Amino acid sequence: MRRLVLMAGVLLCFSAVADSAVQPVRKWTLLDQNDKAYTLDDDAQVLLVARSMAAAKLVNAAIEDAPAGYLEARHMVYVADIEKMPSVIKLVAVPAMRSAKYRILLDRDGRVASAYNGDRDSVQWLTLKGGAVVQEQRFADGAALKQAIAERPTP
């Protein structure tokens, strides 16, 4: 009987650990820098989240020279949290973002980025599989981020 109780306890612990490793992704919709809506779907395999201007500069440095469609070809989505950006700066920054060759989803109220518990100093790389976050990495170096993106296979 003790063995049965012990075995059940061990199984529950493994189940709890397995459940905590996979975070479900809620479906959300954001507008990009051109006011076009994007809804997160199962095609997205990597979510890049920048919560500050410094983190956004890392993403820009990593992909600014890439051709249009570079992130999409790698099933990657880029979210910039601009909630804390002063309104006056937004009036200039958002129109400036329209010249980017890549899609920037703008989290204007922080509701999407805050769900992923990242920091403001690095770019959060969330690997998605079957609608769940299965791995998280953080990049504080633009060259390392550029290399990681370049190494992503394109189908």
* H runs (alpha helix) in 52-141: 53-63, 70-73, 87-97
Mean pLDDT by 10 residues, the chain (155 residues): 40 40 69 96 94 95 94 96 92 93 96 91 93 92 96 83
Give the pLDDT confidence score for residue 134 in this predicted structure.
Answer: 95
Facing residues of 139 across strands? 123
Name which of 38, 41, 59, 62 is nearest 50 in CA terms.
59
Give the pLDDT confidence score for residue 131 in this predicted structure.
Answer: 66
Give the pLDDT confidence score for residue 14 in this predicted structure.
Answer: 39
Sheet holding 23-24, edge to edge: 23-24, 132-139, 123-129, 46-50, 76-81, 105-107, 29-32, 37-39
Asked: is 24-151 a CATH 3.40.50.300 domain? The reply is no
Give the pLDDT confidence score for residue 27 in this predicted structure.
Answer: 86
Q: Please give the model's pTM, rounded to 2 decimal places.
A: 0.82
Name which of 71, 64, 30 is nearest 47 in CA terms.
71
The secondary structure element, H or E, covering residue 22 is none
Number of H helices, E strands in the chain: 5, 8
